[in-house]
Chains A and B, each alone.
Chain A
Amino acid sequence: DTEVTQTPKHLVMGMTNKKSLKCEQHMGHRAMYWYKQKAKKPPELMFVYSYEKLSINESVPSRFSPECPNSSLLNLHLHALQPEDSALYLCASSQDRYTRLAGKNTQYFGPGTRLTVL
């Protein structure tokens, strides 16, 4: 089973709202990722969690706040977003067992959350 689930599927929010995106996997993976994808572009990495600790932050603005409550869950808290933050937000997970050959780990993606900021 290679399923990663994300909720909600669609989200519309105002610039003053606070909302959260949720991601869940039950594959026993120990690495989880947030990506942002604008239309007609490839996904851009935002954050990586490895063994529930933040290991990579790609200089993402502080209005995006990730959280990894446990090894199966990944949240992305949103606050004071801008219209240009409207995009598809994708979550992914991978095994992350092979620290020396980490590139071997296949990332499995969820269906994404389409976010619109008004």
Chain B
Amino acid sequence: AQKVTQAQTEISVVEKEDVTLDCVYETRDTTYYLFWYKQPPSGELVFLIRRNSFDEQNEISGRYSWNFQKSTSSFNFTITASQVVDSAVYFCALNAGNKLVFGAGTILRVKS
């Protein structure tokens, strides 16, 4: 069975603070893919990143960075110097076949 756990229900930070969103996953498959999506108040799920199970390189894209650690089954997401526009719900998801399994989501509130 596949499972994704986002233990942080809600995080509040002040603008310019760094924030890390945690994601822990469970799967018995050796080939799988991990995703992060952002859902702003408008409702659309915006794709941020995909990582496959064979690539443990960390990735940085502007203020966003992702840390994938297979040994701990974690795929954490860090926003550096947060901005108000980062306020959204962030979902971590796992796909080992044709289905995306989502975590419960983390609400991020960035205050000015």
Contact = CB atoms under 8 A, between A and B. Distances in A.
Is chain B's binding surface mostly helix, strand, loop or mixed?
loop
A50 to B, nearest CB: 8
Contacts of A50: 98
B45 A56 contact: no
B4 to A, nearest CB: 9
Contacts of B43: 88, 90, 111-112, 114
Contact of A102 (B97, B104, B105): B97
Interface residues of A, number: 27
Contact of A56 (B32, B98, B103): B98
Contacts of B47: 2, 106-109
Given A42-B91, A42-B105, A101-B31, A107 B100 contact: yes
A70 interface: no
Contact of A111 (B32, B33, B42, B52): B42
Nearest to B103: A42
Interface string B41-76: 011111100101000000000000000000000000
A66 interface: no
A109 B44 contact: yes
B44 A43 contact: no
A48 interface: yes
A78 interface: no
Given A101-B31, A104-B52, A110 B44 contact: yes
Interface in B78-102: 91, 95-100, 102
